[in-house]
Amino acid sequence: MKVFVGMSGGVDSSLTAALLIERGYNVAGVYMKNWSQDLPGMKCPWADDLADAKRVAVQLGIDLKVYDFEKEYRENVVEYMISAYSQGYTPNPDIMCNQEVKFKLFLETALVDGADMIATGHYATTRDNRLFMASDANKDQTYFLYRVTSQALSKTFFPLGKYTKQKVRQMSEDRHLFTAKKKDSQGICFVGKIGIREFLSQYVDTKPGDIIDQKTGKKIGTHDGAIFYTIGQRHGLNIGGGLPYYVVGKNMQSNEVYVSNDINHNGIWRSETKIESKHWINNVPKDGNYLARIRHRAPLVKITLLGSKVIFDEPQRAIAPGQSVVIYDGEECLGGGIIV
């Protein structure tokens, strides 16, 4: 069986390839060239990552292909992210990347190119074309994978799903992989260490606006663009003195950010939310009681699902429109939707 492994130049995908070779599969590596543009003060790391992937491929004695998805990535991930932020939402580009690129474009291209299966270094597990959480709860990445299809899962291996990150590092060092001690990438998934504010500033015209105390209606500060702020945000407001303020709302048309120093403000805490653009990996779940995650690494919380409505057993903090609610039945990730 021929397996094409998405190799990013990191330790996770490197070990993924090594493990599949050891299990007897005919393995080829694929580097997905999704983004190569340098930004002011930040050199895109794609060339270095490709070089690292090549070094590991040589170590393992496998071919490394390069798939150029830059055009599709810009259209389906980057423009989606910029558009969502411009409308006042807080999108998750990693989720869209998995949906549109890794488990759609990469999979389709690999199958046409001769692969029987693909594999990635994600921390997740599959059984019977269903998606389940990884053994390492701290590294579990099913939140980012909830928009993949059962058809894609039927053609995908996740060899790292039963290991902890510490174990992955150790196994990579035991095999003397070139990337064994390479640090995990930070920042925006496709650019590197640059922050979202710096990235958006290159593509969206922003201007200063007023920060308004929602209770009094008075201006208490200024911001450098409502696009940069998200519900529940505390840091970066530069409002001096007294109790800390939290973002409880914003108006993109008037470029105003609304804040409150009441930690119990109903703009911060919500007992329910609606979701749109719903995606279910297998069957549409029946209305009833489930678990959900409202952010990556947020704790699983008890919910009641009623169609497009998610009711939390206990109010949840900082429910940001544009983010995702991901629904679980025990260890199984069923799918989810985007917060309205």
Phi, psi angle pair for 303, to nearest 5°: -140, 165
Q: How would you classify the pairing of strands 117-119 and 156-157?
A: parallel
Closest CA to 14 of 235, 169, 149, 137: 169
Q: Is the dihedral of CA 186, 140, 137, 307 positive or negative?
A: positive
By annotation, the residues acting in catalysis are 97, 189
- Cα dihedral 65→13→109→193 (10° resolution): -90
Q: Is the dihedral of CA 17, 21, 24, 30 positive or negative?
A: positive
CA separation for the pair 274, 125 (Å, rounded): 28
Which tokens belong to 327?
A: 């629904």
CA separation for the pair 328, 133 (Å, rounded): 9
